[in-house]
Each structure stands twice: as C-alpha cells, then as structure tokens.
Structure 1
Amino acid sequence: MQWGKKLLLLFVLLIVVVGCSSNDTDEDTENDAEGSNTDSEVQVGGELKIAYSAQPATIDPHMTTAVATSDIMRGVYETLVTVDEDQNFQPMLAESYDISEDGLIYTFNLRQGVTFHNGKEMKAEDVVASMKRWQELSTNGRAQFAEATFEEVDEYTVEMVLPNPLSTALSVLTSYLGSAPVILPKEIIENAPDAGIDEHIGTGPFKFVEWRQDAHIQLTRNDDYQARDEEASGLAGKKEALVDDVYFYFVTDASTRLAGMLSGEYDMAHAIAYDNVPQLEAADNIDIHIVPGSTQVLTFNQKKGVFSDIRAREAVRAALSLDEMMQAAFGDEKYYTINHNLVMPHLEGQFYSEFGKETHNQNDVEKGKQIIEEAGLEGEEVVILSTRDYEEVYNASIVVQERLEQIGLSVRLDVVDWPTFLEKKEDENGFDINIVGFGPQPEPTSYLFVGKGPHSGWMDDDEFHDLVAEFRNQPTLEDTKDIYDEMMKWLEEDIAFIKVADYNRVNVSQKLVKNVHFLDGFITWNISKEQ
C-alpha cells in the first residue's frame, strides 16, 4: 500500500515537471522576425518615449510624403485597406472590398460602429470626402487617381470607379508612405485650412494631443478604439494601445539620441548613427533593430541651372563613386546595397532590368572632367541641398561635393534643417542637386522620383510619362515587365537622377519595451512597457 502511494506521488511529480518544461520552452522561443522582446504577461500603461531624428513640416498625411509624418501619425489615422507583414492586401476600415471583372469598379463595404476620436461614427460620406481630398492634394492621388470617382452607395458602402484598369491601385491605396489616403470626418475636411488639417481626428488606437514645435508630439490612448478581430500582422489585424501615452521627441543630434538611450531617458530611438551601433550592442539594456530603410537618390534640377544640360548630368554620373558615398553615409556594407534597379532587392524577382547597370557606379573622375571641359562648363556653380537631420544625407553630400569639384565645377553645400530642406527641394531656385531617401514602395511608379515635378527634378518628358501610364494601365502588375524594361532604358539615356543604393536603418529599443515591430516605419500599437 505504501509502495503504491509512492508510485502515485512520483507519477504526479513527473506530470508537473514535464508541463513546466513545455511551457518554459514555448516562452524561450517566442520572438519576432526583428528579434524584438516579447513577454507572456502584457503590461498596460505607462509612457513610450521615442527619440526621433527629424521634425516633419506637416502631420497632415494627405499633403506630405515625409516618412516622419507616416511614423508619427499612422497610429492616429487609418486607411480603407492596408498590408500585413508579408505585404498582402488586407481590409482595415473596410470590412471587405470587391473588384469588378474588368478592374474598373472597386466596392468598399465599410465596418459599422467605427467611431472617430470625436465620437462620430465613420460612414460613407466621410470616406468619400476623404478620398476626394486625397485625390486632389496627394502626389499619388493626382498622378494615378486623377480621373477616378468616389461615390456613396449607401451609409456603409463606397464605390470607386476608374476610367481604365490600374495595376497599381491597391498598392497605392494600402501605402502609408507617399501621402496616405487616410480617412477623416467630413466636417474636418470641409473646414480644413489650405495649409493643412489643424484638428487631427482619426479612427486609430491613439488620439492626437499636441504638437510642441521643436520639442515633441504627444499621442494618447483611444479608449473607444474598435479593433479588428484578426491576428495582428504588419499594419493589419488587431491593434491595441497598450501604453497610456506616446511621445515623439525631436532629437536631431545623433549623439543626443545615443546618450538618451544609454541613460534610459528614451524608450526607443530612430535612425541611430551607424558608427554608434557597436556601443549600443555592448549595452545590456538595449535591443538593436536593423530594418529596411529607404532608397537613396541623387536628383538633378533639370528645370534651371547647369543640370538642364544633359552633358553635366552625364559628367556627374561618370565621376561618382557610389561605394564612397555609401561608405561615408553608412559605413558597414551590411547597411546598404548599391543598386541600379528602381525597386528594392526583395522585389527584383518581379521588376528587374539590365538597363542602367553598365553605366551605374562608374567612378571615373577623368571621364567626368573631360565631359565638363568639352561642354564648356568649367567653374559653373552647383548648389547641393543637404541636411544634418539625416546624417547619411549629409555625409553622402560631402563626397559628391568633393567629386564635383574634382571635375571642374564650383560647389556650395547648403545645409538646412529638415522642414527647410523639404521646402527648398520644391523650389526651382532651391537647389541644383539634392540627395534624399525615398521610403519603400510596392511597385516602381509609386516612387516620387519617377513622377513629374520637383521630386524628380522636373523630369517632365512626355515620352517617359507615357510609358508610366502604359505601365499603370495594365490589368495586373504581372503584365508590366516589358514596359518596365522600356522605362529603365529611357532613364539610363536621360540621366534624370541617379539611383544610388537601398539602405537599412538602425532603430533601437530598451529591453523593457516588449513586442517591438516595424513595417516601413514605427508601429506604436501592441507595444507594452515594463513598469
């Protein structure tokens, strides 16, 4: 009898030990693709303090392509459709959507009971007003949806009608970069000043509180947020505001962001200087996140000045060492990929062309100098617009300045803050060259540097833009490959800009911040913080 009791006790103990071991293993292997912290007990509350490298000129998503606006406001404003972590299209404010067989009619069935931050329920009239404003003000809206119509079918149904098939339609409608088609109350839109929305009322998990210029933007939890039921993935699925408040502090100095992370003053930091990474890797309290960043592009002002002459553009392309530029900007090769192709490497299986490869990264100063001499352009003044708010932009600009001086041009570096940079790059008198990063896009024609106007340095040639229109008017993206080849051939011959490289960005977080994810920028929902 005693022996039987001992066997029973031993059996129970074995069950307990095996059960504990199984649970421990599950917790140890739980992690995301970025290597961020997770925690089995989610804590709610506290403040999330983010040191951000630049202050946006506006936080009206319809009116800007600035990545800073996207990072800060994507928790405040939402779109009809979005993308998951694998870049698959998913509904967000739409419950579902349907596309007609001819690809011309998109029907968005809206979620019912979703309220704006002012308590008003979102309905079709708000969506129609928002999409019409986005269509009028945004770069992609004007370029790709100029002739689209948006109509209210009933209170919870909106119909978008296109004049022609648009292969890029969902790619643009889901993008939070490049002027996002976010949804606002109709009344806010009707009363919006020309300078942009000044009352930020969205549907997202966070509400806008204040913007103290040159200091911070504060967001607070939306206690009435109506989350989707699907599992969170990328920008899709269930969103929860797990912290009480989010502060984006504008800390333009890289060393100050570093010091603030090491001291614990900040919970997260954006765009850590690449040469600071080893110091942070040595810290026990810091997680490093190397995430896809942007595409660095050197843009010529073709409308006015020396680079209206194609020979000057050819000389610069010949002379530049893109390796030198990227070493100065990023240091270690793990942070960048020199790439002539318009799209980032992960999309090259769908969009790739050999055109542009042979003339890319020539590193031939003598050839560049000879072209300048033969064109009679020695001593011509060149203004390179730059900023120290993004160190990689400034450091690459220094290398370009040195190369251009070596081929006989007179170069001045105009270094300004980020809002001024954005303003001057829109002005034909504001620059001859600028170097800037463009956020990742799902297809090549969504990049602003292949459009008309200042983002491409006024590359307004009808032949090229006819190719862009042909690309977009295909039934699907799979039907665009041959046209993409023609586009790349034209760009190689015209030298409208120089696609330098695709690069990664280094963001960091304190280990006490849990469930950190990024997708084309910061995600502030579903993050918790140990108290």
Structure 2
Amino acid sequence: MKKISLLCLMLLLSFTLMACSAEESGTDDKGGEAAVGGELQVAYNAQPPTLDPLLTTAVATRDVMRHVYETLVTVNQKFEVKPMLAKSYEVSEDGKIITFELRDGIKFHNGEEMLPEDVVASMNRWKESTTLGKSYFADAVFSSSGEKTVVLEMKQPLSTALAMLADPGQAAIITPKEINEAATEQGITEYIGTGPYKFVEWKTDQYVHLEKFSDYQSLDSESSGLAGKKEGFVDDIYFQFVTDASTRLSGIQTGEYDIANAIPFDNAEQLEANEDVVNHIDHNGFNGLVFNKKAGFFADVIARQAVNAALDEEEILMASFTNENFYELEHGLMIKDQVEWYSEAGKDQYNQNDPEKAKQLLEEAGYNGEEIVILASRDYEDHYNAAVVVQQQLEKIGMKTKLDVYDWATVLQRRADEKAYDIFVTGFPTEPIPAKYVFLDSANQWPGWTNSPEMDQLLDQINTASSQEEAQEYFAQLQEEFYNYLPMIKFGNKTTITSTRSNIEGMGFLQGVTLWNVQKK
C-alpha cells in the first residue's frame, strides 16, 4: 500500500472512503494466492474494562470484540444499514414491525447452530442492558416466528430503529441463549459469538488472544466497513495492551508489532521515512470535554456557558494533534459528508475564545474559587494534551483547577462517580444518527448525566419523523439546543494514525480497525 502523504490527509476526513480491501477467497487483491496463516501482534493503546460490549461504550471493548461477535444488521463504510446475521429484513407499512429472516447454517464458536431463540434471548438482554435499548426499545417485543424468523414489534414507529440495531458501539451482539440467561450484572462469563475469530484468552493488563474460527460462514458481498465479506487469513490475533506511546512507536519500527494504533501525531513524519512502515490516517470522530451536570459547579448551565466562552479550540486541537492536517475546526455533531443531517445551527457559539465574556459568566454563576477537577488519561495522548490546555485556559479566567490523570480503565470507573470530578476529556466516533450520541438523551444516564427535557423531546421528534427532511429540521433545532444546554463541548473533528508493517495488507477502519481480510505477506 502506498504511503499517505501528509498533504493529502484532509481528503481522508470523509467516511465515504471504501474499505481497504475486498479480496476473493483464496486470492489477494492482485488475483494471486492469498497469504494464509501466521499471527498478528497488535499494539493497542488502552485496556478494555470488560469484554462484554453491552456493558460499556469503551472503544477498546468494541475494537477487540467486533472480531468475535456479530449482529443481525450492521453498517458499511457509508454507514448504510446492511444485513449480517439476518439474510433480509422487512419493515411494515406502519413502521411498527420489523421482520428478520435469519441466514441458514450459522454456527456459534461452540459448534451449535444459531437459532431464533438465541437471537430473541440476545436482543432481550441488549434492550435491557444498553442505553439505546433502555431508551428506545423498553416496550418493544422480540419473538420467534418459525424456524428462521425473528420479529420486532414496537408500540410506536421508530424510523431510526435499524440504525440503532446496527450500531457498532454497544452492539446488539448475538450469543447463545444459555449464555444470555447466565449473564449477571457483571455481564457474560463466556465469550461465544459467530464472528471470523473466536475468543481464546484474556490476560488482564497484558493481551487478548483471538483464534481463527474455521467454521465461519462469510457473506459473499463486497467487504465494506463492518458489512460484507470477512475472511480470517491469519490464524491468531493478539491485542497487546501497550499504553505507552513510545513503546508502540518503537515496536512498530522494530517489527515487534505488526500493527500499532493511536500513533502520536508528532511521530508521523518519522514513520513516513521508514520504508518498512505504512501510516493509515482515518477520520475518527471528535474529542471534547464532558461536564458533570449532576453535582458540583457545572450543574449550573451558566457555569458551563462560561467555559464554552473561554475555550480557544484551535489551541486545544493543535496541542492534541500537532499539525492542522490532522484536525478540523468544526462545530457540527454530524459531519459535512452527512448531507442528510448536517446543520450550521449553533455555529456562533463554537470556538468563542472570549475570556472577558467567560469571566462575566463566571461571576454570574457565583464562582467562588471552587477547585475544578479534570479527569484525563495518558493512554490517549490527544485527550491528555487537550486536558492540559483546557486547564491552562480555565486558570487564565480565574478558575482553580486540578488535573487528575489515570489509566483509561480508571477514568471509566471514576467518571461514573458524581463526586469524583467536574470535567472529563474523551472522544466520540462519528455516529450515523443523532440518537447515538450518548450525551444527548437524558434517559441514557451516561456519565455527565444530561437532564434536558428540550433535547429529549427533539430526539423523540427526530426518531419518529415521517421523512428525512422533517428529521433534519428537528436536528437543526436539537443542535441549537445542544449549544444552549452544553452537556459537553466539542473541540473539533480529528483523525487517528494506525501504523502497520509494510507486509500487512487488507486492514480496514470504521470507528476502529477491522482485521478480518488482513494478510501477512
């Protein structure tokens, strides 16, 4: 694969790019014999808090376990919904019923065939465990109808239902019925899916080992995003948890690792000069700070508006990504390529960089020298670098701050404690629909604890809109209200660098790496 020039990076800020490969079985992209066998050593920058995708929004869990689990429907590189374990689906005229016809002969990693009862049990656990499920499917009923049919019945039409079921985050994974029935509040204890790789071992703080599933039944359609053809060319994948960026950087250069994610942006040119390494730069959503709106100073919206007035987003983004080619100043929650959603609403409230206005709002909010605790992690250098600049900018307007730095797993734990912080810095993938942003819906009770009846009503209107044009109008109002209420502050759009050794071919990316179809030449 040709190395990507730094001058062309902004062209990559579109997720309309096609997936990196779509090889025919047994052949490579040039029509020759595929390289089969071997193992991949992947240096991954953060440790998963759990391997149960239903219990967390952590991208480490998502990126590892997407190779093990699959869903009824999924998304391609353009975020279009496509069948996966479902052979087909049909939506009733009133929009209240979705009927899924299941693919034949799909096997779980334990050798058992996937049946409708497994799908029903899996979907019931998903709707009872996840923020999307509890918010939008609490009254819905999943049932089996015949040997290959599962039916979803909803009391009200939900135009975004299929997109939610295809969500890569807290994915609606299909696992055996008995696994779901044995799950506790701590999640499932056996990791059995239908994907091209099966779980072997998780050594906490060290690695997750996946092994090729020899009975995997791939689709024949073109590979794109998370949809279409998936082939397990390598025998084993080891996700090595390497939180130190310099260790990942060194390891990809020496060949200790085949793939390394979250490469520091200031090392991009160094790796470009290495003929044995290839940089892959992909659009990767946006970073921002999330306010604790349940307790402390930022329960007051005026206090949140003071911070929004103070921030210089350009300075924050430059500190995070080191080069303007790696980021984009952008206010919108949906990116410009999402033409059915994008809106200019709220733009006047973005990147104000107005310290005097901020000081006035602080005084109005009654700030009296309270210490503001900011949570951050060096597992994500861009998060940490942003947090440092945010701290500096808040201190310039007279706020007393404290930067609490932990490993990412600890940040995930502490951000769930309303008494532990005031702000935390995190990142979000670009989502296919507004409802997927966990900080918008009050019912999610996601850390930071949004409580906005106005945004809740607009989300409901979006999800039940009779047309995309109507939904887009409601979204413009939602984005305006987002900038009034400020559950979080978006810094701007970002990219991420994943580096591979030059003999690695076929890696894909959609919100994170995909390693099916990867060959080690």
For the superposition of Structure 1 and Structure 2, which TM-score range results when normalised by the shorter chain?
Answer: over 0.9
SS at match of 2:508: coil
Instruction: Report deviation, 1:276.
Output: 0.8
Aligned-pair CA distance for 1:33? 5.5
Paired with 1:312 and 1:120, the residues of 2 have a C-alpha distance of: 56
Alignment of 1:96-107 (within 5 A): 96-107=88-99
Question: For residue 5 of structure 2, what is the aligned residue in structure 1?
Answer: none
Quote the residue 1:73 is aligned against: 65
Deviation at 1:412? 0.5
Alpha-carbon distance in structure 2 between the residues aligned to 1:461 and 1:272 = 37
- Asked if the contact 1:425/1:454 (under 8 Å) is kept, the reply is no
CA offsets 1:222-245 (integer angstroms, 9 cap, x no match) = 011111222322212221110010
Q: Which of residues 421, 424, 432 is equivalent to 2:411?
A: 421
Structure 1 residue 454: Cα displacement? 4.9
**Contact 1:450/1:456 (CA < 8 Å) preserved in 2?**
no
Q: Residue 325 of structure 1: which of 277, 302, 316 is its match?
A: 316
Tell me how far apart the structure 1 counterparts of residues 445 and 425 of structure 2 sit (CA, whole Å).
Answer: 13
Counterpart residue number, 2:197: 206
Residue 168 of structure 1 aligns with which residue? 160
One-letter amino acid of the counterpart of residue 391, structure 2: Q
- After superposition, the C-alpha distances for 1:489-512 in whole angstroms (9 at most, x for unaligned) are 222222232122121111011111
Counterpart of 1:220 in structure 2 is 211
For residue 388 of structure 1, the aligned residue among 378, 381, 399 is 378
Q: Does 1:301 align with 2:292?
A: yes
Deviations 1:17-46 (A, max 9, x none): xxxxxxxxxxxxxxx957789553311000
More divergent stretch after superposition (334-343 vs 259-268): 334-343
Counterpart in the other structure of 1:370:
360
| Change in CA separation of 1:215 and 1:469 when aligned onto 2, cut-off 3 Å | same
Q: CA deviation at 1:146?
A: 1.7
Match of 2:347 in 1: 357
Within 5 Å, which residues of 2 pair with 1:123-522?
A: 123-177=115-169, 179-347=170-338, 349-452=339-442, 453-455=444-446, 457-522=448-513
Q: Calculate percent identity across the aligned residue pairs.
A: 47
| Cα distance between partner residues in 1 of 2:484 and 2:192 | 46
Deviation string 1:300-338 (CA, Å, 9 cap, x unpaired) is: 111111111222112111111000110111111121112
Write out per-residue CA displacement over residues 435-492 of structure 1, whole angstroms, 9 at most, x where no aligned residue.
Answer: 1101221011211111225536222122221111111112343430221122122222
Offset of residue 137 of structure 1 = 0.4
Of residues 49, 60, 66 in structure 2, which corresponds to 1:57?
Answer: 49
TM-fit CA distance, 1:72? 0.5
Q: Deviation per CA, 1:230-265: give whole Å up to 9, x if none.
A: 232221222111001000000001110000000000
**2:507–2:516 contact (8 Å) kept in structure 1:** no
Consecutive unaligned residues of structure 1, counting only runs of 5 or more, are: 1-31
Q: Unpaired segments of 5 or more residues in structure 2?
A: 1-16, 22-27
- Tell me which residue corresponds to 1:25: none
Moved more, 85-94 or 404-413: 85-94
Kindly state the Cα deviation for residue 175 of structure 1 after the two structures are TM-superposed.
1.6
Secondary structure of the structure 1 residue equivalent to 2:509:
coil
Q: Which segment is superposed worse, 227-236 or 399-408?
A: 227-236
Provide, for residues 322-363 of structure 1, a one-character-per-residue CA deviation record: whole Å limited to 9, x for no partner.
00110111111121112211112321x222333311121011
1:34-65 CA deviation, whole Å, 9 max, x = no partner? 77895533110000110000001011011111
- Separation (CA, whole Å) in 2 of partners of 1:333 and 1:378: 37
Q: Letter of the 1:78 partner, please give it.
A: E
Query: Within the alignment, does 1:119 sit opposite 2:111 as a pair?
Result: yes
Q: How far apart, CA to CA, are the structure 2 residues paired with 1:474 and 1:367?
A: 38
For residue 107 of structure 1, report the CA deviation from its aligned partner. Answer: 0.4
Q: Which amino acid aligns with 1:222?
A: F
Equivalent-residue separation in structure 1 for 2:362 and 2:78 (angstroms): 47
Distance 1:237 1:190, change over 3 A: same
SS of the residue 1:107 aligns to: strand
In structure 2, the CA distance between the partners of 1:86 and 1:317, relative to structure 1 (3 Å rule), is closer
**Superposition pairs for residues 80-95 of structure 1, below 5 Å?**
80-95=72-87
TM-score (norm 1): 0.91
Q: Partner of 2:11 in structure 1?
A: none
Worse-superposed segment, 500-509 or 39-48: 39-48
Q: Distance in 2 between matches of 1:174 and 1:472?
A: 15
- The code of the aligned residue for 1:380 comes to E
Residue identity opposite 2:306 in structure 1: A
SS in structure 2 of the partner of residue 490 of structure 1: helix
Q: Compared with structure 1, are the counterparts of its residues 69 and 463 closer, same or farther at alpha carbon in structure 2 (3 Å cutoff)?
A: same
SS of equivalent residue, structure 2 residue 337: helix
Report how many residues are paired. Answer: 497
Alignment check: 8 A CA contact 2:86 2:103 kept: yes
Q: Distance in 1 between the 2:377 and 2:127 partners? A: 30
Question: 2:466, 2:42 → 1: CA distance?
Answer: 42
Q: 1:185 offset after TM fit, Å?
A: 0.1
In 1, are the aligned partners of 2:45 and 2:380 still within 8 Å (CA)? yes
Residue equivalent to 1:16? none
| Deviations 1:183-223, CA, capped at 9 Å, x for gaps | 00001111123201121000011010000011100000101
The 10-residue stretch of structure 1 (65-74 or 320-329) with the greater mean CA deviation from structure 2: 65-74
Structure-2 separation of matches of 1:87 and 1:458: 28
Alpha-carbon spacing, 1:234–1:354, altered in 2? closer, same or farther (3 Å) = closer
Which stretch of structure 1 is more off in the superposition, 235-244 or 381-390? 235-244
- Label 1:375 to 1:97 Cα distance change in 2 as closer, same or farther (>3 A): closer
RMSD: 1.6
Quick check: 446-455 or 94-103, which moved more?
Answer: 446-455
Q: Secondary structure at the match of 2:446?
A: helix
Q: For residues 133 and 476 of structure 1, do their structure 2 counterparts lie closer, same or farther at Cα, with a shift above 3 Å needed?
A: farther
CA displacement, residues 144-178 of structure 1 (integer Å, 9 cap, x when unaligned): 2222110111221000011112121111111212x
The 1:485/1:245 distance shift into structure 2, 3 A limit, reads same
Q: Quick one: which amino acid aligns to residue 143 of structure 1?
A: S
Is the 1:387–1:418 contact (alpha carbons within 8 Å) kept by the matching residues of 2? yes
2: CA distance, partners of 1:34 / 1:207 = 23
In 2, are the aligned partners of 1:56 and 1:69 still within 8 Å (CA)? yes
Report the TM-score, using the length of structure 2 for normalisation.
0.92
Counterpart of 1:67, as a letter, is V
Cα distance in 2 between the residues matched to 1:35 and 1:103: 35
Please state whether the residue corresponding to 1:50 is helix, strand or coil: strand
